Structure 1
Amino acid sequence: MTLLNESRTRRRRLGVGATAAGLLAALLMGGPAAATPDPGDSPAAGKQLSRSAAADTEAAIASGEIPAQDEVVHSDNIEHLANIPKDALPGTNSDLAFQGQYAFAGNYDGFRIFDISDPKAPKTVAQVLCPGSQNDISVSGNLLFLSTDSSRSDNSCASTTQPATEKSSWEGMKVFDISDKKNPKYVAAVETACGSHTHTLVPEKKNVYVYVSSYSPSATFPDCQPPHDGISVIKVPRNAPEKAAVVGFPVLFPGEGPDGGGNPGAPTNPGVSKTTGCHDLTVLPSKDLAAGACMGDGILFSIEDPENPKVIDRVQDNKNFAFWHSATFNQKADKVVFTDELGGGGAATCNEAVGPNRGADGIYDITGKGDHRKLVFRSYFKIPRHQAATENCVAHNGSLIPVKGKDIMVQAWYQGGVSVWDFTDSTKPREIGYFERGPLTTDTLRVGGSWSAYYYNGHIYSNDIAKGFDVLKVSDRLTDPAEKVHVDELNVQTQPDYFD
């Protein structure tokens, strides 16, 4: 294994002063930053920092504690092979999916298809303009799925924003035919309650089931009424996608009253998001298992009957988790990594004031068998490099690096960059490689950095919110065996069984 550059891993004791202390207090009190996940439909231009915070950032750059503005740095075992800047889609870059020689990159303005047959020189195959917040993306066979989580005037790709209080507004799932990668065709739309923030595919031979995660209902929203305590299930016939339709809304958090039975949030649990739906689900079809990151709750459930998932266990962390954001199984399905998106992806939380346990990953072992399985907390993991007050940074989307007998992930941390880390010992996780850029600005907190970082067929691909599409190569004795493992298709939230 190549050792990390010691001066880089021990650098950055930023954020100890009044600016960081104030941020920490706000996050702990459960203000808007703790309850609003992911950058919004129209992210703010940036928050001007105090003169002292800006001066601290400049001083840290001058001393070499953090890289200079936009400077690329990485550990010795990671190589930066390529960067493709944003082109015709200027919006926020979001999630990624893969199929054969292609990568599919979501963007709040639509999606982009890359030919990655030569990872050192990706080529744009198509760019599709279809605005809608998130545009979380997945592919299965000839179908591409796109989430819309902003209220639109209609379901077309020419829609405009429209208040959710208007009954005619639309948000939900869009389906495209990608049999011709150069010319994707929009073939279906399905409206779902509270839209679709993310989605997860449960593919079968004749149909694709789509689990739709959404949240934050309001009595003023005709199509997003409380309690919103479950997920929408869409059934899409492969040969007739135009017949796609919602076939159920399984309740995952049963309870009395208008708020359902999820985490009540503040004031009962200060600093924790109230559970009004799920943010993201990950399924492991080979094991009929799923893990849900649901705002104030983490859940483990069975998908043996895909139209009627059944909750097996549920956990909360009311001390350190503000917003349960995403989940990743290890290959043996005896562990789950949950992420906490403290600050909603728009705050600088990778600093000494916030500490190592908030805005981090929570590693849980799965114990027991069948319906008696339990999620048991083991430890937290957070990148060891402190970031500047101008850098939004928190745990975000990642995937397994498929090494038999090891549990290794690559993960995005927004402006904290891309981290490769080992959780084979779930009580002692450790970083083994990293890639990042210096801050976008030195005087303003502006949202940027890696939204998703995934391992696919020998390379790491990252979709950077501001800088575009990056390709990385990790060369390390721990990860090198993964180069022999190839899959035909990868939607990270539909985890493959790499060694079956």
Structure 2
Amino acid sequence: MHRRQFLRAVAGTAALSTAAALTVRDGDARSPESGASDAANATAANVDSTATGTPSGTPTPTPTEAVATPTTGYEPIGSVAVEGATEAVLTPDGETAFVAVGDGFAVLDLRDPANPTVVASERGISPPGTTRRMGGVRDVKYDDGRLLVGGPAGYDPDSFYGIALFDVSDPTAPAFLRAYETAYPVHNCDLAGAYAYLTRSDREANPLLVVDVSREAPREVARWSVLDHDPVWQSVPRPLRTLHDVFVRDGFAYLAYWDAGTWVLDVSDPTDPEYVADVRERDPETLADLDGLAVARESSEPPGNDHYAATDPDGSLLAVGKESWNSNFGKEGTTPGPGDPGGPSGIAIYDVADPRSPEHLSTIDPPPTADSNINGVRTTAHNFELAAGHLYSSWYRGGVAVHDLSDPAEPERVRYFRRSSATNFWTARLAAPGGAVVATSFEDPSALDAPARVYTFPDVPRATPTPTPRPTDATTVPTGSGGRPATETASGDGGGDGRGNDGGDGIGTDATEASDATAGDGPGFGPAAALAGLGIGAWRLLGGEGSAEERG
């Protein structure tokens, strides 16, 4: 049964008011607890392994000094320094990027991918009604000319806790609309129509918070937690069931709940989220028996931890990234031993055409690392995007990768960039098929005082649509849906083996990677590819993400 059969009628969406900006609170007492890192704040991953057969990590060699040889063939085509850059989201036309920068956001012009340019920024955001400013902003989300800014990612008593909404229909002149104040950190968020979806890090229920932001005075309309589905989760240590991230598309919300797994909710009525399915590897009874150092190990090692989840545009594939390494808390030595699950973890791919019955298809292994420990050379997946038949992923110091998902049971890595000594990637996004891939490196490990950078890479080659002759008295041009030429969907091999792989095996480690990147000189590469290959507009009309579904 197709997933769309599970959708109820979408609740009516009120028009977004542009009246006076207001700041609203969720009404709970604020916690004064100190801030925490992205990894420390996150905790969530469970998938019934008997049903899915998901691998839980592989042992790694004894750690050695991390040495990285610059990759060859696949290289950035441009970059720009953006102080504090982490998450990035793009407009549907791929011409503008909005980047979280800690105290706000920056706006990048991507029309020339070889020369990305900062054209605007909003920093030191202090919503009306408060003297505090937003801090710890690690996430932004775009939808239909609006940008949602959430934070702080961790506990910071000096920061404004909550979200701010901006009108970015003119990207060069963002205009503040309104804000909503929460009592707890907002580690991540999403925006879909009139509703904002927030991870409410209260260290107890850790619920999803749904806020109607169409009103002059935004208000909470729903909460949902794994504790609501089954109270048995109350007995599980809180660090193992933290809601780390939320992704919303086409009436479904996908919640990355760390060791509690990834949960699918029907949010076609955002005021009444309903459980659909969960994908997890551990049962709550087993997790409830853990205490002390065992909890610390579980919260950082495989089979956890579900860190980020996203679907492809039509919702048929789900990717779940796990952020877990070898921890060895309270153990001797630094390498996996008997009974130690090791790490790092990768990205699991599921068939979710029937969202009530996710089926595990494959797991993409992480790039090798010379030090698999939690404080070693991290190469787990951070944020990623499924678009145009490919997975675009960031792997911290493991680099940026592109996988062909033509056969999701056997994903094929077709592009790979890695420079462990100088980059540490947070996210990867596709601007347009055949055009640019955008990725943010939030630090240079060899120069920690250097600013973060936003890089652009060439996409894999795409077929150039066959020119369509104009109709004449003697000829008739077949048309597809909407009267568009049927030949607009023409495909070709793009060179190489038909998947954009024109040589090189793309395999390497941070100890030896002399030839670890797939070559990047095939047809369709370079800044002009978006014009020479399948155009952005055609992609959006032929199955790419439309503005209502662009999620970042």
Q: Does the alignment reach a TM-score above 0.5?
A: yes
Aligned to 2:136: 133
* Contact 1:289–1:303 (CA under 8 A) maintained in structure 2: yes
Q: Equivalent residues in 2 for 1:339-354 (5 A)? A: 339-342=321-324
Structure 2: how far apart are the matches of 1:338 and 1:129? 32
Cα distance, 1:303 vs structure 2: 2.0
* Contact 1:35–1:323 (CA under 8 A) maintained in structure 2: no
Pairing partner for 1:376 from 359, 366, 375: 359
Aligned to 1:98: 91
Aligned to 2:437: 460
* Cα deviation code 1:310-329 (max 9, x no counterpart): 11111212393322111122
The alignment partner of 2:79 has SS state of strand
Pair 330,256 (structure 1): closer, same or farther in 2 beyond 3 Å? closer
Pair 365,251 (structure 1): closer, same or farther in 2 beyond 3 Å? same
Pair 368,115 (structure 1): closer, same or farther in 2 beyond 3 Å? closer
Cα distance, 1:421 vs structure 2: 1.2
Structure 1: how far apart are the matches of 2:416 and 2:308? 20
Structure 1: how far apart are the matches of 2:278 and 2:235? 10
Pair 344,194 (structure 1): closer, same or farther in 2 beyond 3 Å? farther
Q: Equivalent residues in 2 for 1:108-257 (5 A)? A: 108-130=102-124, 131-149=134-152, 161-162=156-157, 170-203=160-193, 208-217=194-203, 226-228=204-206, 230-237=207-214, 242-254=216-228
Cα distance, 1:413 vs structure 2: 0.6
Compute the TM-score of the two structures, normalised by the length of structure 1.
0.66
* Cα deviation code 1:388-416 (max 9, x no counterpart): 6753321111112314xxxx201011111
Structure 2: how far apart are the matches of 1:454 and 1:418? 10
Q: Equivalent residues in 2 for 1:255-270 (5 A)? A: 261=233, 264=236
* Contact 1:262–1:274 (CA under 8 A) maintained in structure 2: no
The alignment partner of 1:419 has SS state of strand
* Cα deviation code 1:48-103 (max 9, x no counterpart): xxxx96xx42xx74xxxx31xxx4x25x3x341101023xx3x3533333354211
* Contact 1:105–1:113 (CA under 8 A) maintained in structure 2: yes
Pair 327,253 (structure 1): closer, same or farther in 2 beyond 3 Å? same
Structure 2: how far apart are the matches of 1:107 and 1:33? 14
Structure 2: how far apart are the matches of 1:482 and 1:383? 30
Q: Is 2:355 the counterpart of 1:336?
A: no
Structure 2: how far apart are the matches of 1:343 and 1:492? 36
Structure 2: how far apart are the matches of 1:330 and 1:216? 30
Structure 1: how far apart are the matches of 2:205 and 2:172? 42
Q: Which runs of 5+ in 2 are unaligned?
A: 1-36, 44-61, 125-133, 283-300, 328-333, 444-451, 462-493, 501-523, 525-532
Aligned residue type for 1:215: S
Cα distance, 1:212 vs structure 2: 0.7
Pair 496,397 (structure 1): closer, same or farther in 2 beyond 3 Å? same
Structure 2: how far apart are the matches of 1:492 and 1:146? 21
Higher strand share: 1
Structure 1: how far apart are the matches of 2:233 and 2:323? 22
Compute the TM-score of the two structures, normalised by the length of structure 2.
0.60
* Contact 1:139–1:491 (CA under 8 A) maintained in structure 2: no
Aligned residue type for 2:199: S
The alignment partner of 1:321 has SS state of coil
Q: Is 2:243 the counterpart of 1:274?
A: no
Aligned to 1:472: 457
Aligned residue type for 1:383: P
Cα distance, 1:384 vs structure 2: 4.0
Cα distance, 1:111 vs structure 2: 1.1
* Contact 2:303–2:341 (CA under 8 A) maintained in structure 1: no
Structure 1: how far apart are the matches of 2:315 and 2:96? 28
Aligned to 2:271: 307
Aligned residue type for 1:133: G
Pair 493,135 (structure 1): closer, same or farther in 2 beyond 3 Å? farther
Structure 2: how far apart are the matches of 1:493 and 1:379? 30
* Contact 1:464–1:470 (CA under 8 A) maintained in structure 2: yes
Structure 2: how far apart are the matches of 1:34 and 1:102? 29
Structure 1: how far apart are the matches of 2:98 and 2:323? 24
Aligned to 1:37: 42
Pair 193,424 (structure 1): closer, same or farther in 2 beyond 3 Å? farther
Pair 417,151 (structure 1): closer, same or farther in 2 beyond 3 Å? closer
* Contact 1:99–1:139 (CA under 8 A) maintained in structure 2: no
Structure 1: how far apart are the matches of 2:225 and 2:38? 27
Structure 2: how far apart are the matches of 1:357 and 1:483? 40
Aligned residue type for 2:257: C
Structure 1: how far apart are the matches of 2:409 and 2:393? 18
Cα distance, 1:308 vs structure 2: 1.6
Pair 365,177 (structure 1): closer, same or farther in 2 beyond 3 Å? closer
* Contact 1:420–1:431 (CA under 8 A) maintained in structure 2: yes
Pair 335,211 (structure 1): closer, same or farther in 2 beyond 3 Å? same
Aligned to 1:11: none
The alignment partner of 1:311 has SS state of strand
Structure 2: how far apart are the matches of 1:365 and 1:178? 35
Pairing partner for 2:258 from 295, 311, 321: 295
Aligned to 2:76: 80
Aligned to 2:7: none
Pair 494,378 (structure 1): closer, same or farther in 2 beyond 3 Å? farther
Cα distance, 1:422 vs structure 2: 2.8
Structure 1: how far apart are the matches of 2:303 and 2:453? 29
* Contact 1:96–1:452 (CA under 8 A) maintained in structure 2: no
The alignment partner of 1:261 has SS state of helix
Pair 301,128 (structure 1): closer, same or farther in 2 beyond 3 Å? same
Pairing partner for 2:352 from 352, 361, 366: 366
* Contact 1:290–1:300 (CA under 8 A) maintained in structure 2: yes
Aligned residue type for 2:240: K
Larger Rg: 2
- Point out the more displaced range, 122-131 or 408-417: 122-131
Pairing partner for 1:320 from 302, 316, 320: 302
Cα distance, 1:462 vs structure 2: 0.6
